[in-house]
Amino acid sequence: MRSVLFYTLARLAIFAATAGVLALFGARGYLLLLLALLISGIVSYVLLSAQRDRMSATVTRGVRAQRERFEKSIGKEDGAPRAE
């Protein structure tokens, strides 16, 4: 979970820094947001690849564990006698 939080905060920080620099250069409104999203996305893709891999592994482990718990609960449900 910590890797997901770190990646998210790093993305937000890069976006804020990019928006700040663009604002200093005179970008305003929708142009500022569009350019900041585009540029910060490219910068994040390059700079945060290791953190993105860690986050992806964490999310994958969580999904697998949840799927196993779900399948286990379905197995328990199927094995139990039903009251009709």
Residue 44 placed within a domain? yes
pTM: 0.74
Residue 43 placed within a domain? yes
Residue 83 placed within a domain? no
- For 22-61, write each residue's pLDDT tens digit: 999 999 999 999 999 999 999 999 999 999 999 999 999 9
- For 40-49, write each residue's pLDDT tens digit: 999 999 999 9
Q: Residue 82 pLDDT > 60, yes or no?
A: no
The pLDDT value given to residue 66? 93
CA 43 to chain centre: 16
Distance in angstroms (rounded) separating the CA atoms of residues 53 and 60:
10
Residue 28 placed within a domain? yes
The pLDDT value given to residue 79? 61
Quick one: 80 exposed, middle or buried, by C-beta within 10 A (0-12, 13-18, 19+)?
exposed
Look at the chain and report how many structural domains it folds into: 1
The alpha carbon dihedral of 40, 24, 9, 35 has a sign of: negative
CA nearest to 10, candidates 38, 51, 42, 46: 51
Tell me which residue range forms the domain holding 39: 2-74
Residue 53 placed within a domain? yes
